[in-house]
Amino acid sequence: MAVASQIVTSLLQGNQRAVAKAITHVEDGTSEAEKITALLYPHTGKAQVIGITGSGGVGKSTLIEKLVRELRRGGKTVGVIAVDPTSPFSGGAFLGDRIRMQDLSTDEGVFIRSMATRNNPGGLARATMDTVRILDASGKDIILIETVGAGQSEVDIIKIAPTVVVVLAPGFGDAIQTIKAGIMEIGDIFVINKADRESADKAVINIRAMLQLGTQRGKWIPPIVKTTATTGAGVSELLEKIGEHREYLSKGEASQRQRRIVREELEEAIKRKTAEHILTALQKEGELDNLISKLLSKEIDPMSAAEEALNRILTRSKRR
Amino acid sequence: MAVASQIVTSLLQGNQRAVAKAITHVEDGTSEAEKITALLYPHTGKAQVIGITGSGGVGKSTLIEKLVRELRRGGKTVGVIAVDPTSPFSGGAFLGDRIRMQDLSTDEGVFIRSMATRNNPGGLARATMDTVRILDASGKDIILIETVGAGQSEVDIIKIAPTVVVVLAPGFGDAIQTIKAGIMEIGDIFVINKADRESADKAVINIRAMLQLGTQRGKWIPPIVKTTATTGAGVSELLEKIGEHREYLSKGEASQRQRRIVREELEEAIKRKTAEHILTALQKEGELDNLISKLLSKEIDPMSAAEEALNRILTRSKRR
């Protein structure tokens, strides 16, 4: 317990190194990770968590950079989580981008982290959720999460962020895949970036039409904001809308959405815990190899094998 | 049972409409889906399953188109599954691409399907795996799966395809993110597409150097094939290498890899079955809402809640 509680005590005081350590634990899925997240859980729930999503090339990263600078001017502390592998925040971008962002990373009021999952495949969504909690508990006022697309990617931003900003570029609004990927359904706020391009107004009209076709969730009508991230135009209006959405959420809608997010997470946790429990039990009895062999020889199919495994555990615990 | 067994009987005879119906069931996660996959499971394992992965814009779809044509000339039947949302096979591409591919979709020996998950979020990986099985059981000799990237996306191709082809374009080999995304570790065969560009040879050298740095899995040394998908150059050489990899797999390495794939799938199935079982039980007792409220008030953290839920079920089944 010592390691986990030391890290948590320190990160609750806002210590950046402790924050970084905690994130590494959740990324690597170490044995301390679970203790850390359990310890800091009661200290979470204060930050506003905002997902910034959109395809590559629409200018999400530059927009986030400008949002961070504007928030800092207003005295807010900010956490940035880059799940988009092509984000300059992840280091996987042009040198120029990285140099431009360097002064942000030396600001004590900003914590930037890109998520990697090499050591913990499949755990990206959970690691991202845990990182949000860590930044929240460490006292960051606003947490921005940069992801690519929706539904198709491992990190489903709507399961993590109560406010989702969808960033589009002019011309993109016409594309069929926008609707297909379900991106229209997840946005609380839409941004047409690169609004200096001439087709920007057409894009706004297209998006509005699509929004009217879709089903409305609650009473919130998603606003459409035009920005030019490179110059910073429209960024303060976007922040205003983000603030309005927070206010809207605080008036009741939040609880429903928060309930759904928490339920999803509980479901995930149950899946993990139970699978761990069952697999360990099966392995101990040598039954796992047996089941795998039966699957390979097509004697049984995976779902029936899973059912057999579950019944085995339930029966066994009865006999205990 | 009637619906499922009718579909399966028909698809085992190679009926394309039954194949399409079965895929829709697994995509939508209907109650028939599980029966269908259980019924056809004994008839699977004959097809060679090949993952074709790489970033957007490297020319995966055109390469697949050429592979399909070449395979058809050799008398092989082919299934194509597009998980990449920007693939022309998914309909989300330029009109020209779609027209070019139209004659493929009217060929009885080819079945093309893009995966959608609007009705079944989070189920993309499972639906893809089930679709592979459906195409396999329906008698397709070769199944090609088109995905984007690795690790970061919901469909981890290495968990589905015993042969993984990584497609790169010249210039891409230098990028840091290639290594970061772990794409080098999953390739059994590397393709430098757009090999008519002058930097193609440099890309081959870069890839070879990176491969030598990495850890080698087994005795297979991943070949690097240069292709120009637009003209078809290099496509038959790629098919040769794919054949060689199949031969290699058949000499023992396969069983290990197949075991790992089957084990992963069993694990997934157990997670799903158990979570279903536990959540239903909790809901019935009204305990689910109780747990969610405790999570919202931060009385408990998700992993501890999951542990509590698991223990509850194990204890209850003891008392049964």
Q: Is the pLDDT of residue A176 over 60?
A: no
Partner-chain contact A302 B268, CB within 8 Å:
yes
Q: For a pLDDT cut of 70, what percent of chain B falls above it?
A: 82
User: Residue B85 is nearest to which of A44, A92, A152, comparing CB atoms?
Assistant: A152
A209 and chain B: CB distance < 8 Å anywhere?
Answer: no
- Can you tell me the mean pLDDT for A228-245? 95
* pLDDT for res B320: 46
Element (H, E) at B146: strand B142-147
What's the CA dihedral at B269, B271, B274, B277 to 10 degrees? -90
Residue A1 in contact with partner chain B when CB distance is under 8 A: no
Q: How confident is the model at residue B2 (pLDDT cuts 50, 70, 90)?
A: confident
Q: Is the pLDDT of residue B168 over 70?
A: yes
Rounded to whole angstroms, the Cα distance separating A4 from A87 reads 30
Query: Which of residues A217 and B77 earns the better pLDDT score?
Result: B77
Please give the pLDDT value at position B260.
Answer: 81
Question: What are the pLDDT digits (tens) for B23-45?
Answer: 999 988 888 998 999 999 999 98
Residue B283 touches partner A, C-beta closer than 8 Å: no
Residues whose CB falls within 8 Å of the CB of residue B268, separated by 6 or more in sequence, listed in order = A302, B125, B126
B237: tokens are 């050489």
Length of chain A (residues): 320
Residue B180: per-residue pLDDT: 44
CA dihedral over B220, B226, B232, B237, signed as positive or negative: negative
pLDDT grade, residue A269 (50/70/90)?
A: confident
Mean pLDDT of A213-236: 86
Q: Which residues of A touch B176 (CB under 8 A)?
A: 91-92
Cross-chain Cβ contact A41/B298 below 8 Å: yes
Q: What integer is the mean pLDDT of A44-61?
A: 88
Size of the A and B interface in Cβ pairs below 8 Å:
199
Q: Which chain A residues are closer than 8 Å to B45 by Cβ? A: 298
A257-260 own/partner pairs: CB under 8 Å, 24+ apart: A257/A162, A258/A162, A258/B296, A259/B292, A259/B296
Q: List the 15-44 stretch of B: residues with Cβ below 8 A of A.
A: 34, 37-38, 41-42, 44
Cβ neighbours of A116 in B, within 8 Å? 180
The C-alpha of A238 sits at a distance from chain B's nearest C-alpha, in angstroms, of 29
Q: Do residues A37 and A31 lie in contact, with contact meaning Cβ atoms separated by under 8 Å? A: no
What is the per-residue DSSP string for B26-93?
HHHT-HHHHHHHHHHGGG-S-SEEEEEE--TTS-HHHHHHHHHHHHHHTT--EEEEE--TT-GGGT-S
Task: For residue A142, give the 3-state DSSP assignment.
Answer: strand
Q: Which amino acid is at B32?
A: E
A149 inside 8 A of chain B by CB: yes
* Residue whose structure tokens are 């990028």: B175
Helical segments of chain A, H only: 2-12, 16-28, 31-40, 60-73, 95-105, 124-137, 176-180, 183-186, 200-213, 235-248, 254-284, 287-296, 302-319
Residue that has been written with the tokens 């840091």 in this structure: B176
Q: Does A316 touch chain B (CB under 8 A)?
A: no
In the DSSP assignment, the letter for residue B149 is: S
The CATH class for the domain spanning B45-253 reads: alpha beta
Average pLDDT over every residue of A81-85: 81
Beta carbons of B135 and B47 less than 8 angstroms apart: yes
Cβ <8 Å between A177 and B275: no
pLDDT score at A320: 46
Contacts of B182 in chain A (CB under 8 A): 118
Q: CA angle, B179 as apex, A29 and A20 as ends, to 5°?
A: 40
- Count of C-beta atoms within a 10 Å radius of residue A197: 15
The verdict on B2 touching A (C-beta cutoff 8 Å) is no
What SS3 state is found at A78?
Answer: strand
State what percent of residues in chain B have pLDDT above 90: 38
Best A25, A27, A152, A179 member to test B by mutation, with max B CBs in 10 Å, is A152
List the structure tokens of A229: 């991230």
Q: Averaged over B163-173, what is the pLDDT?
A: 80
Section A127-153 average pLDDT: 86
Do B224 and B199 form a contact (C-beta atoms < 8 A)? no
Condensed to tens digits (0 to 9), the pLDDT of residues B224-238 reads 999 999 999 999 999
Of B149, B127, B152, residue with least CA distance to B51: B149
**How does the average pLDDT of chain A come out, rounded?**
83
Choose the weakest-confidence range: A96-105, A202-211, A295-304, B115-124: B115-124
Give the percent of chain A with pLDDT over 90. Answer: 38
B277 touches chain A (CB under 8 A): yes
* B242 vs B249: which has the higher pLDDT: B242
* Residue B1 contacts A where some CB pair is shorter than 8 Å: no
* Contact list, A303 vs chain B (CB under 8 Å): 34, 37-38, 269, 272-273
| Confidence band for B179, pLDDT divided at 50, 70 and 90 | very low
Which chain A residues have a beta carbon less than 8 Å from that of B277? 310
pLDDT-based confidence at residue A173 (cuts at 50, 70, 90): very low
ipTM for the complex shown: 0.71
Per-residue confidence (pLDDT) for residue A94, from 0 to 100: 54
What phi and psi, each to the nearest 5 degrees, are found at residue A49?
A: -105, 120
Written as six digits, the tokens of A75 are: 């005295």
- The CATH class for the domain spanning A45-255 reads alpha beta
Task: Delimit the domains of chain A by residue range.
Answer: 45-255, 270-319
Beta bridge partners, B225, equal B191
List of chain A residues whose C-beta atoms are within 8 Å of the C-beta of residue B54 = none
- Contact (CB<8Å) B180/A86: no
CB A143 within 8 A of CB A136: yes
Please check whether residue B32 is in contact with residue B25, taking contact to mean a CB–CB distance below 8 angstroms. Answer: yes
